[in-house]
Amino acid sequence: MKVVRENILTRVEGVASVKLEFKKCKVVDAKICIPDYRGLEKVLTGRPYMDALVINPRVCGICGHAHLKATVLALENALKVKPTTKAKIVRDITHIAEILQNHVKWFYLYLIPDFLIKRADLTNLYEPYKGCRWRSSIEFANLFVKINAIFAGQWPHSSYMVPGGITCEPDEESIIQAIHLMEKAKSFLNMLEEDTERFKELCMEFGLEKIGISYGRFLANGKVYSDGEYKRIEPEFIEEREDFSYHSKSPLAYSWAKSVRYRGLPYEVGPMARLLQAKDKRVLHLYKIYGGSFMVRVLSRLYEIDNLIHKLDDLFKRLKEYISDPSYNDAEHPLDGEGYGMVEASRGTLLHWVLIEKGRIKDYRIITPSAWNLGPRCKDFLGVAEMALLSARDEWEANLILRSFDICSVCTTH
């Protein structure tokens, strides 16, 4: 006997639901529904290209900085503009700070509270608004938001990156302030390490090291750590399929998202993909034993917090070396061109593509990490997260698996 249940997911950005089909206490089919269509590309069409720097950070309230960076890289690629070295360093600092605040909030505010259903003894630590670790995580995450504000002026929805550089002029005092905040953030690493170990124990207690494995194919653009650590993605081999999307007007459609494929195949993006391709020893070791399971996917994100905090050390040292250099390259550039920008957002690889004619946007395309991971099936394959859900034994496990992809429906549909 088959049983079908549909759940509206809580604690996600936007609205999302999942339809699960059970047979003999096991999920045999899953459909992830993103019910809202946004289509900001249509808003951009016909506007002066600089408008994209204000509109695109509003694609998402969590990773708007990544959208800004992908936008400016696409514009620079199209208009043949090169930013200054100083600007690239500051962009990397604010980009990493945004990833860090997201990772911390995601783990403490979105994921770990689900374990209170099984372990009420953890309430004093992780209960929303009341648990001591839950509350400390807010302070932890806010430190990275403050680092962003020093250079970008505000967060979220900042627009300080422009073709050729940045609009701020960081001085020694602002660097000292940012370093002070970073050092304060390091004081939370002991808490994070303890919670990481506790999370591993919880996974082993409930058998979560075995579930949530998808296709085992991973992509990452490679700009978080360094230029040379990843295989490059060739944008011309990325396609969006509409087989089961409402875009296709098919009676079988169930989501406004599209399926994203690379060379015809589904690929998983995100922190696990980044750290596997960067050959992180901890993640490689876990992956060898457990594959790309729920546990390894979550631990990858927690390990990345530690990695990126120390990466900021290097960036601040480099910024000091270039402090007297210009923040902006004011060279003349054409008003026509086609280009793309790819960055690693918190959730994975993000692509922006733009076509500019006479200084205005003729066409724009955004492919988000959530579209890679949460997009619906096509005629040949289930979606990445849908495939991972087939190992779930109940709704609690299914919700955890979905949450491990860091659900953001507002980023998904474009």
State the DSSP string of 338-389: EEEEEEEETTEEEEEEEEEETTEEEEEEEE-HHHHHH----SS---HHHHHH
User: One-letter amino acid identity for 238?
Assistant: I
Of residues 167, 181, 196, the one with CA closest to residue 96: 181
Contact 194, 124 (CB under 8 A): no
Look at the domain 2-412 and name its fold.
Answer: Cytochrome-c3 Hydrogenase; chain B (1.10.645)
What is the pLDDT at residue 228?
46
Question: What is the reported pLDDT for 36?
Answer: 85
How would you write the pLDDT of the chain (414 residues) with one tens digit per residue? 466 677 766 677 778 889 999 998 889 999 999 988 888 899 999 999 999 999 999 988 888 999 999 999 999 999 999 999 999 999 999 999 999 999 999 999 999 999 999 999 999 999 999 999 999 999 999 999 999 999 999 888 999 999 999 999 999 999 999 999 999 999 999 999 999 999 999 999 999 999 999 999 999 986 676 544 556 788 899 999 999 999 999 999 999 999 999 999 999 999 999 999 889 999 999 999 999 999 999 999 999 999 999 999 999 999 999 999 999 998 888 899 999 999 999 999 999 999 999 999 999 999 999 999 999 999 999 999 999 999 999 999 999 999 999 988 777 766
* Residue 60 burial (10 A CB sphere; 0-12, 13-18, 19+): buried
Q: What is the pLDDT of residue 207?
A: 97
In the chain, the amino acid numbered 344 is E
| Distance in angstroms (rounded) separating the CA atoms of residues 384 and 372 | 7
Q: Which residues pair with 277 in a beta bridge?
A: none
Q: In the 3-class helix/strand/coil scheme, how is 257-279 assigned residue by residue?
A: CCEEEECCECCECCHHHHHHHCC
Parallel/antiparallel/unpaired status of strands 27-33 and 161-162: unpaired
∠ CA(167), CA(170), CA(171), 5° rounding? 150
Predicted TM-score (pTM) above 0.75: yes
- Supply the DSSP symbol for 246: G
Domain ranges of the chain: 2-412
Nearest alpha-carbon partner for 213 in 371, 19, 397: 397
User: Where do runs of H (alpha helix) occur along 80-188?
Assistant: 85-105, 123-126, 132-152, 172-186
Distances (CA, A) of 186 to 32, 143, 363: 37, 10, 43
